[in-house]
Amino acid sequence: MNASPEPLPHLIDVDLGDRSYRITIGSGHLDDVGTICREALVDRHAFVITDSNVGPIYLDRVTTSLGGTSKRVDVMTMEAGESTKSLANCQRIWQQMLHLAADRSSIVVALGGGVIGDLGGFVAAAFARGIDFVQIPTSLLAQVDSSVGGKVGINLPGAKNMVGAFWQPRSVLIDTDVLSTLDQRNYVAGLAEVIKYGLIMDLPFFEYLEKSVSELLSLDSETLARVIARCCQCKTDVVEADEREQSGRRAILNYGHTYGHAIEAVFGYGTFLHGEAISIGMTCAGRLAVQLGLVDSEFLKRQTELFRAVGLPVDCPSEKHDELIDAMARDKKVSKGQLNLILPTKIGHVESIPAPNRAEILTSLKPTD
């Protein structure tokens, strides 16, 4: 990755034919939502969905800015937390939209982290058979992953993201300043997805991250903007190649996720944040890759050192390993009875490999050092 500063804002165009959109990344952008996303919002009824953490801090700035562009602005504030991503809440929001005379020309603005982005996107995907939406992600995880690429959805009891759609936003606006109000644990958890891009597809980016730990931990705004832009570009390249996860290319984004989803489910959602679970998951997957001879132990050492340096957990809890393996076998990605795992072959490259036997996976759950 080039070490010289690049001009702000960073603009990334996601080229998906008539579903194309722009990602704008920079500082102070919340005051300019109306102008930056003007094309999507002008003279339309904007329906903002936010949550009880983000709304009190940022909603006024966003609605003020929207007021200069949109015809009408309405707001619905949901309770913060994963349980908000439910069908019952979709119904509440749809009823409220109906009550406010939303129609096919209305546009949903999702202001929040991954929960609000996924929920707001799904609300938009299904209302009146699909209306436009704009993503304004406010967590690092949402900024580098879930706000880009059009995966939207809700949870069913016991089944995360089980109901959803591919529904691309009309625009994504990322303001790096909002990360200053994100709590440290959630910020660090987001770094797991950041590091993942280096590991799966971008060695120079991984090397840049290794050299930028102190800037990342001090929220240096120039470093953050460059890092988020690089992640969004990586994700864009993957999504442009395989929008609906059909060719296998998009599956590389699931590195560490089969382990990670199992860890989240078995130890209870919220015990580990998603980013923490996939940091442990990538460590287990890296260890499995060493066991299978796909990478040498130096790979695992470098990966683990970077996770540890930013404060991410790497060790799987020592109990419930049989339950974890059972949960992995139920992964949404199991196809025709075969579980494939995304495993590294070197830093910057991963491949989809049929899962080995249970004993090998059990060994990969146990710390080696």
Q: Tell me the two tokens of residue 295.
A: 């990478």
> Which residues in the 75-114 window bind ligand GLY by CB under 6 A?
none
Q: Residue length, the chain?
A: 369
Q: How far, in Å, are 112, 130, 166, 268, 288 from residue 240 at the CA level?
A: 25, 21, 13, 34, 30
Q: How far apart are CA 177 and CA 29, in angstroms?
A: 8
10 catalytic residue (yes or no):
no
Q: How far apart are CA 43 and CA 45, in angstroms?
A: 7
Nearer to ligand GLY, 173 or 278 (CB): 278
Pick from 149, 169, 260, 313 the residue near ligand GLY by CB under 6 A: 149
Binding of ligand GLY by 331 (CB under 6 A): no
Choose the catalytic residue: 61, 245, 249, 349: 245
360 catalytic residue (yes or no):
no
Output the CA torsion 85→90→93→97 (10° steps).
140
250 catalytic residue (yes or no):
yes
CB of 288 to ligand GLY, least distance (A): 20
274 catalytic residue (yes or no):
yes
DSSP state of 368: -
Choose the catalytic residue: 170, 261, 264, 276: 261
323 catalytic residue (yes or no):
no
Q: How far apart are CA 171 and CA 40, in angstroms?
A: 7
29 catalytic residue (yes or no):
no
Amino acid at the residue 124: A
Q: How far apart are CA 15 and CA 329, in angstroms?
A: 35
CB 24 within 8 A of CB 11: yes
Choose the catalytic residue: 29, 45, 85, 151: 151
> Which residues in the 126-145 window bind ligand GLY by CB under 6 A?
145
CB of 61 to ligand GLY, least distance (A): 28
287 catalytic residue (yes or no):
no
Binding of ligand GLY by 264 (CB under 6 A): no
H-type helices in the chain, by residue range? Answer: 33-36, 38-41, 55-67, 87-99, 114-126, 140-141, 184-201, 203-211, 213-217, 221-241, 257-267, 274-291, 297-310, 321-329, 358-364
Nearer to ligand GLY, 149 or 256 (CB): 149
Three-state SS for 24? strand
Judged by CB under 6 A, how many residues of this single chain contact ligand GLY? Answer: 5
CB of 222 to ligand GLY, least distance (A): 26
Residue closest to ligand GLY when measured from CB atoms = 253
Nearer to ligand GLY, 44 or 151 (CB): 151
72 catalytic residue (yes or no):
no
Three-state SS for 187? helix
53 catalytic residue (yes or no):
no
> Which residues in the 198-257 window bind ligand GLY by CB under 6 A?
250, 253
Closest CA to 171 of 8, 42, 13, 10: 13
Q: Which residues pair with 111 in a beta bridge?
A: 136
CB of 242 to ligand GLY, least distance (A): 9
Nearer to ligand GLY, 34 or 120 (CB): 120
Nearer to ligand GLY, 51 or 145 (CB): 145
85 catalytic residue (yes or no):
no
Nearer to ligand GLY, 10 or 250 (CB): 250
Closest CA to 130 of 99, 98, 168, 100: 168
Nearer to ligand GLY, 44 or 170 (CB): 170
CB 7 within 8 A of CB 154: no
Residue 218 half-sphere exposure toward CB, CA atoms < 13 A: 7
Choose the catalytic residue: 29, 44, 230, 235: 235
Binding of ligand GLY by 151 (CB under 6 A): yes
Nearer to ligand GLY, 45 or 257 (CB): 257
Choose the catalytic residue: 170, 254, 287, 340: 254
Choose the catalytic residue: 10, 170, 226, 257: 257
Residue 217 half-sphere exposure toward CB, CA atoms < 13 A: 12
CB of 281 to ligand GLY, least distance (A): 13
Choose the catalytic residue: 44, 196, 226, 274: 274
Residues with active-site annotation: 129, 151, 193, 235, 245, 250, 254, 257, 261, 274
- Which residues make up the interface to ligand GLY (CB under 6 A)? 145, 149, 151, 250, 253
